[in-house]
Amino acid sequence: MLPDDASLEEIFFFFWWYGLVFTAKLHFLILSVSYGARMMQDYLKEGTKS
């Protein structure tokens, strides 16, 4: 994945960028799941009322 002659700065930057993207994806996943759960709860509440 990385070239053999990559400097320490390049490796550090690569891992920092990879971690940043991974964290962003993880946060987006958690947000969408919690949002979906909230929507489902509201839908079920409305369904039981009628």
Q: What is the pLDDT of residues 1-50, one digit of tens each?
A: 556 677 999 999 999 999 999 999 999 999 999 999 999 999 999 888 76
Q: For residues 2 and 14, is the Cβ–Cβ distance under 8 A?
A: yes
Confidence (pTM): 0.54
φ/ψ region of 3 (left if φ > 0, alpha if ψ in -120 to 50, else beta) reads: beta
Residues 6+ positions from 6 with CB-CB distance below 8 Å: 14
pLDDT value of position 13: 95
pLDDT value of position 48: 80
pLDDT value of position 47: 84
| Cα dihedral: 17, 20, 23, 25 (round 10) | -70
